[in-house]
Amino acid sequence: MKIVVDENIPLADELFASFGEIVKLPGREISVQDVRHADALLVRSVTKVNRDLLDASKIRFVGTCTIGTDHLDKNYLDSAGIKYASAPGCNAWGVVQYDIAAMDYLGLFNTSLKVGIVGCGNVGGRLYRTLKALGFKCCCYDPFLTAEQIPDLTDWQALFECDIVCVHTPLTYDGPHPTYHMIDKEFLGVLKPGAVLLNAGRGEVVDNLALKKYLQSNNAKSLRVVLDVWENEPAIDAGLAELVDLATPHIAGYSFEGKTNGSLMIYEALAEFLGVEQLQCDATVRDVKQRTYGTPELLQVGTLSDAIRGSYDIVSDDKRLRAALPMLPAGFDSLRKNYPVRREFSHYGVPSALQVKAAALGFGSE
């Protein structure tokens, strides 16, 4: 069996070599010729998987080690009889960590503020539960959910009064509630003065040109912006990046645990596809986790803010992207490929005096 794998998928050799020959390639460069004689393709969000790529191949399984699937042409895969799998929720805690770190950096880790969450799936739902446990007031917009699922479900207009709006929807172009450019010129114009817009979902959900023009105008009303995802990645708009408060290269979910979870979930899906016994699969996953997760670290900190910053320095990610803007688009991809190890809150313990609130973020105890 021949398996073509994005070179940035962690643990590829440890997890997939037992199934066959592993061929690692840059995700954006995987070509028709590369997959022509392959049996399985394992990707991330940078690889467009469609008829053009696969029609001349013998691929029978596609796995994406990501939450999102908008880079997969699922209609084609279904029609071609190609099994596909994703990793929903794999890096949800990593993205929540990113959101919390951004809020803390901007001085907004304050429960008197109201947080709007657009999209309450794996990531948005976890962010909602985390913020509620900390005492924040939340407004959640997700037309696919009910009040029984999300008690603070609101209409679209309620977001206009929020102090912070976090966007965590998938990217869709059709259906009853398409998300492409749902954050547009009109939405920006009705946000309350001093509001914060944070997008760590999909870049195309926010109209980047409209946002850039708004921030350049005299009507911006002190809007602050955090962008981790962008239109036209990796050739992002450097001018927009220079205007926002925090700019990062699509790494919100790039925690060590998030990337590892994505690989493990696709390993399990491929093992099931190949008929590997469940006990054998479980043993492999357990062994990999034991060898890779390591021993928790204790943070000697005095405040919850210190713990957040001690576990993740979001400002460093912002500085690295700004330094790479003259080297776009290659600089963007280089930052993602060479991203330093970042552990989630759960890897760290904090003093017992902080445990009540820290536990809601996933921190352990000393």
202 is catalytic: yes
Residue 347 has a pLDDT of 96
Q: What is the pLDDT of residue 132?
A: 97
Pairing of strands 196-199, 348-350: unpaired
Q: What is the DSSP letter of 234?
A: T
Peptide bond into 178 cis (omega under 30): no
Q: Which helix (H) or strand (E) holds 298?
A: strand 297-298
Q: Which CATH number fits domain 2-90+256-292: 3.40.1390.30, 3.20.20.140, 3.40.50.720, 3.40.50.2300?
A: 3.40.50.720
The predicted-structure confidence for 51-67, as pLDDT tens digits, reads as follows 999 999 999 999 999 99
Q: What is the DSSP string of 198-222?
A: EE-S-GGGB-HHHHHHHHHSTT-TT
Q: Among residues 353, 141, 105, 140, which one has the least CA distance to residue 246?
A: 105
Would you mind telling me the total number of residues written for the chain in this entry? 366
Say how many CA atoms lie within 13 Å of 50 toward its Cβ. 8
Catalytic pick among 44, 126, 168, 250: 250
| Predicted confidence (pLDDT) at residue 220 exceeds the cutoff of 90 | no
Determine what percent of the chain is predicted with pLDDT higher than 70. Answer: 100
Neighbour order of strands in the sheet with 364-365: 297-298, 348-350, 364-365
Query: What are the residue ranges spanned by the domains of the chain?
Result: 2-90+256-292, 92-247, 298-330+339-365
Map tokens 């979001």 to a residue.
Answer: 314
CB of 214 closer than 8 Å to CB of 220: yes
Tell me whether residue 60 is one of the annotated catalytic residues: no
CATH number of 92-247: 3.40.50.720
Confidence check: pLDDT of 185 > 90: yes
The tokens for 170 are 């998938």
| 310, burial (CB in 10 Å: exposed 0-12, middle 13-18, buried 19+) | middle
C-alpha to C-alpha distance for 276 and 366, rounded to whole angstroms: 40
| Catalytic residue from among 204, 233, 268, 344 | 233
Q: Please give the Cα distance from 123 to 128 (Å, whole number).
A: 9
Catalytic pick from 44, 126, 202, 320? 202
**2-90+256-292 and 92-247: identical CATH topology:** yes
Beta strand pairing status for 137-141 and 224-227? unpaired
Structure tokens belonging to residue 356: 């009540």
pLDDT digits (tens, 9 = 90+) for 316-348: 999 999 999 999 999 999 999 999 999 999 999
pLDDT at 216 over 90: yes
CA angle 229/172/238 to nearest 5° reads 25
Is residue 221 pLDDT above 80, yes or no? Answer: no
